[in-house]
Amino acid sequence: MGGWMNLSSANKRQRRASELGDNDEHVANDFVELDKSNVLLIGPTGSGKTLLAKTLARIVNVPFVIADATSLTQAGYVGEDVESILYKLLVEAKFDVEAAQHGIVYIDEVDKITKKAESLNIGRDVSGEGVQQALLKMLEGTIVNIPMPDKGARRNLHGDSFQIDTKDILFICGGAFNDLEKTISERRQDSSIGFGAPVRENMRTSPLITAAVASSLLESVESDDLIAYGLIPEFIGRFPILVGLSALDEDQLVEVLMKPKNALGKQYKKMFNMNGVKLYFTETALRLISKKAMAKNTGARGLRAILENILTEAMFEIPNTKMESHRVNAVLVDEEAVGSVDERGCGAKILYAEDEMDRFLAKEKH
């Protein structure tokens, strides 16, 4: 009896050791093949979709290209076929095939190739669904022959085309998907928010509430919502990661204006400084500019247009006043210069006296 128990214990130990050994062997020999996970970014315009993809490519230091889904066509139509994306990636990688095969491709405006967008755009003779179908193999992983254009292209030592395996190319797609939040709301049977106020009523009454409601709903987006919106199931199946991006709020837009290295505020300050002129924004002005962008639902992308409207007159005035007797010393953007959310302001204030800005700043402190 004792011998049988010893034998049984020995068999268990041997089996356990064998299982552990198999695991170690798999890890050591690296038999596990890692697959990519493509990403679909869903969010309003100006929420940072393109910047996210661009920043990721910069951090991992791989070739990166941006393509527009609306310019793509299915086979047999005039326009850019889907393979043209890979040619751009190859160019970006300086025709290094290995580098291109580990690059990142960002395809923007994918919401414009849905069946819904197709029905709205009667003049488009190319099927949005056909473009989705054409992208399927490339998204999942396939070997694509990329022919070289006749003019201005580098000759391939192995022939007139390159072969690119897309298995390890990360595809990130993005789109605003306007009104997708309504589809999500219906799926969730989310007929009310707060104290019984209907979602659609909330969306009609205030654009600022609209952005907040839409952002919260987009965080719970599912594949079925996108299929209902007009993307085909096979296309959605190639994107295991769905990310809903929120509209930028007031504080975030103020940061976008002034904090990054290439912030718009810093760019305009640099341009004015090149003419020996100081440019100053008050905190109230920055917040009003952000509120205007939010009201227009343009996000960070709309900030430049607002700043141009405020600063255009000053930018034209400065080159004409370089004489010492009538020289611009500083330009001030305050609450009056910006105006209210609904009304245009008076534009940036041009200060000629050397101590005028100092007097204003001293007044601001008090």
272 in Cβ contact with 279 (< 8 Å): yes
Question: How far is it, in rounded angstroms, from Cα 296 to Cα 341?
Answer: 9
Of 246 and 209, the one with more pLDDT: 246
- Position 191 scores a pLDDT of 44
In tens, the pLDDT along 152-169 reads 445 555 557 889 999 999
3-class secondary structure, 145: strand
In tens, the pLDDT along 93-150 reads 999 999 999 999 999 999 999 876 555 555 444 578 889 999 999 999 999 998 876 5
| Residue 266 predicted with pLDDT over 80 | yes
Question: How far is it, in rounded angstroms, from Cα 253 to Cα 333?
Answer: 17
Give Dmax (Cα) for the chain. Answer: 113
As given in the structure block, the two tokens for residue 274 are: 């090149």
Q: Which residues contact 163 (CB under 8 A, 6 or more apart)?
A: 97, 143, 144, 145, 146
Of 358 and 329, the one with more pLDDT: 329
| Residue 300 predicted with pLDDT over 60 | yes
User: What domains can be seen in the chain, in order of their start residue?
Assistant: 39-117+125-150+158-193+206-244 (3.40.50.300), 250-365 (1.10.8.60)
133 in Cβ contact with 76 (< 8 Å): no
Average pLDDT, stretch 172-192?
81
| Residue 5 predicted with pLDDT over 50 | no
| Residue 247 predicted with pLDDT over 70 | yes
Residue entry with tokens 């992208």: 135
- Position 15 scores a pLDDT of 53
pLDDT confidence bin for 77, thresholds 50/70/90: low
Question: How far is it, in rounded angstroms, from Cα 176 to Cα 249?
Answer: 17
Of 31 and 8, the one with more pLDDT: 31
Nearest partner of 111 among 176, 63, 62, judged by Cα:
176
- Position 10 scores a pLDDT of 44
Angstrom distances, CA of residue 333 to CA of 90, 221, 282, 285: 45, 40, 6, 6
Average pLDDT, stretch 49-56?
94
246 in Cβ contact with 219 (< 8 Å): yes
- CA 197 vs. chain centroid, Å, equals 32
Angle between helices 207-218 and 180-187 (to 10 degrees): 60
- Position 118 scores a pLDDT of 53
| Residue 359 predicted with pLDDT over 90 | no
Find residue 243's DSSP bridge partners. 41
315 in Cβ contact with 269 (< 8 Å): no
| Average confidence score pLDDT of the chain | 81
Q: Which residues contact 212 (CB under 8 A, 6 or more apart)?
A: 247
- Position 270 scores a pLDDT of 95
Tell me the chain's radius of gyration from C-alpha atoms: 28
- Position 30 scores a pLDDT of 61
308 in Cβ contact with 298 (< 8 Å): no
- Position 178 scores a pLDDT of 87
Angstrom distances, CA of residue 144 to CA of 23, 64, 85, 94, 123: 35, 18, 11, 18, 31
As given in the structure block, the two tokens for residue 262 are: 């290439």
| Residue 240 predicted with pLDDT over 70 | yes
